[in-house]
Structure 1
Amino acid sequence: MLHLNVTDETSRLRAVLLGTAESCGPVPTPEEAYDPKSLEHILAGTYPKEEDMVKEMEAFAAVFEKYGVKVYRPKVFKDVNQIFSRDITFVIEDKLIKANILPDREIEIEAIKHVLDEIPQENIITPPEDVHIEGGDVMPYGDYIFIGTYSGADYSDYITARTNKAGVEFIRSLFPNKKVKSFELRKSNTIANENALHLDCCFQPVGKDMAIIHKNGFLVEEEYLWLVNFFGKEKVFEITKDEMYHMYSNVFSISPDVVVSERNFTRLNNWLREKGFTVEEIPYAEISKQEGLLRCSTMPLIRD
């Protein structure tokens, strides 16, 4: 049996579901793009090749192996993009919550049945249909759960709006002992550097009390300022619009002092090392062309 336990983003990782880039299918048509960055690369003819993405994910798996983390992978279905395991489910405390994902991604849940079978059924939660929520928007942080959302009246116009007000309230009702704090994110269907697809595209805690953040990802300045004050200005690494576009905030913590990062994130990686972190650098630039990076392609199951 899998005894799920996730209460934050950085405690020592013991078990994780890492997506797969194998058999991820042909290059989508522009109409099939789920986000503006993929669309940009589809139109430019620079959409990532499967073999390159497989290599990048194997490099990530090798880091987990180095640190003795138990790694689960989805069953490979032919021509299905199964890279971003954070989109389909996420864990808070001992509960695994399924996301109400876009209907044509249902098969991705089927691909992790062997993992779900190891979890007591009463700990697997399926939200009601009106609840939209994805793991990239959900961050447990001790007594808090931070959630990215978009509650504009035009919510349904945005394929990039993934977590609604009902999603925030659902988490609040599931975890009454937690302080649930939501943040309105900036959305765009067409301009990648004006779009925060998920909260982890513009914010992520690192270490015990630090964070990476991008101001323009937040629609409401007070909410951005609340986070900066919560962590303290000197403990926050502010990223530029260009760095957000390259997914600088979407790194992944194996422990409070070990961070897996993209090897081209020089400014961030230097800052992390200055702060005493061990930075495991891997190539992940091809996967980032689909507007997701290291956090998006992992779903922690057990942290100490």
Structure 2
Amino acid sequence: MLKLNIQNETSRLRAVVLGTAVSNGPVPSIEDAYDPKSIEHIKAGTYPKESDMVAEMEAVAKVFEKYDVKVYRPKIIEDYNQIFARDIALVIEDKFIKSNILPDREKEIVAIQHVINEIDPGKVYKAPTDDIHFEGGDIMIHNDHIFIGTYKGKDYPDCIVARTNMKGVEYIKSLFPNKTVKEFDLNKSMKDPRDNALHLDCCFQPVGKDKAIIHKEGFRDPLDYEYLVDFFGKENLFHIDKSEMYHMNSNIFSIAEDVVVSERNFTRLNTWLRSLNITVEEVPYAEIAKQEGLLRCSTMPLIRD
């Protein structure tokens, strides 16, 4: 049996689900794309090639191997995008919670059933109704706090880039009554990826012991941004600009408080991390980034110390 344990984003990682880019399928049509950044690359003819994405994900798998992390991979579904393991489920404490995701993506959960089979069935949760929406990229556990990205705009039902609603926030609250659950209203755009915080981890993520990466303009409500400034202290926040947000600088992944996996082109961020005595394992991930997801999006941690 897998003894799940996730209390925060940065404790020493022991087991993780890493997505796969194998048999990723053809370049999607614009109508089938789920986010503005993918559309931008489909139109430009620069949508990532499967072979490049497979190589990028294998580089991450090698880093996990180096740190003795147990890695689970999804079963391959032919011609199907299974890169973003974070979207489909999440672990908080010892609970495995299946996301309510875009209906087209239900198959992705089935592809990790072999992992779910190793978990005590009493610890596996699924939202009771279809109108409760949340995805793992919007949910961060920070010890006794849970931070959740949402979208409170009236156009939520028509907004495909809005993935977590207030019913999703309430559902997570109901599972963890002893935690402080704080939601953040995020800016969404189907037109411009530079204005679109697809998930909370596209504009914010804790790192190290008491630091965080943040993109101020990702938050619709300035008070939500101020909440995090007060919580972490301004001196502990690394502010990223629109271009860095677009390239997914807040979407790195922590193996431990002092070890992160980051994209090799994130020069300014990686320099800051090293200044904090954090080991930065640099990998190429710029092709996968074209689908508006990066390292946190393609990993689903199961066990941290």
Q: TM-score range by the shorter chain?
A: over 0.9
2:292 corresponds to 1:291:
yes
> Counterpart of 1:249?
250
SS at match of 1:280: strand
> Counterpart of 2:185?
184
2:236 corresponds to 1:213:
no
Q: Within 5 A, what are the aligned runs for 1:158-177?
A: 158-177=159-178
Mapped to 2, the partners of 1:152 and 1:41 lie a distance apart of 27
Deviations 1:45-74 (A, max 9, x none): 000000000000000000000000000000
| Counterpart AA for 1:153 | K
| Structure 1 residue 151, shift from structure 2 partner | 1.6
| Structure 1 residue 275, shift from structure 2 partner | 1.0
Mapped to 2, the partners of 1:15 and 1:159 lie a distance apart of 31
Q: Over aligned residue pairs, what C-alpha RMSD do you find?
A: 0.5
Deviations 1:72-115 (A, max 9, x none): 00000100100000000000000011111111111111100100
Mapped to 2, the partners of 1:34 and 1:270 lie a distance apart of 33
Deviations 1:146-179 (A, max 9, x none): 0000021110121000000000000111100000
Mapped to 2, the partners of 1:81 and 1:300 lie a distance apart of 19
Report how many residues are paired. 304
> Counterpart of 2:117?
117
> Counterpart of 1:80?
80
| Counterpart AA for 1:97 | I
2:101 corresponds to 1:101:
yes
| Structure 1 residue 27, shift from structure 2 partner | 0.1
Deviations 1:227-285 (A, max 9, x none): 01211111100000000000000000000000100000000000000111000000000
TM-score (norm 1): 0.99
> Counterpart of 1:67?
67
TM-score (norm 2): 0.99
Mapped to 2, the partners of 1:44 and 1:130 lie a distance apart of 35
Q: Within 5 A, what are the aligned runs for 1:1-304?
A: 1-127=1-127, 128-304=129-305
| Counterpart AA for 1:280 | E
| Structure 1 residue 22, shift from structure 2 partner | 0.1
Consecutive unaligned residues of structure 2, counting only runs of 5 or more, are: none
SS at match of 1:109: helix
SS at match of 2:106: helix
Consecutive unaligned residues of structure 1, counting only runs of 5 or more, are: none
Mapped to 2, the partners of 1:105 and 1:230 lie a distance apart of 35
Give the % identical residues.
69
Mapped to 2, the partners of 1:31 and 1:289 lie a distance apart of 17
Mapped to 2, the partners of 1:160 and 1:19 lie a distance apart of 21
Mapped to 1, the partners of 2:71 and 2:105 lie a distance apart of 22
Mapped to 2, the partners of 1:297 and 1:254 lie a distance apart of 14
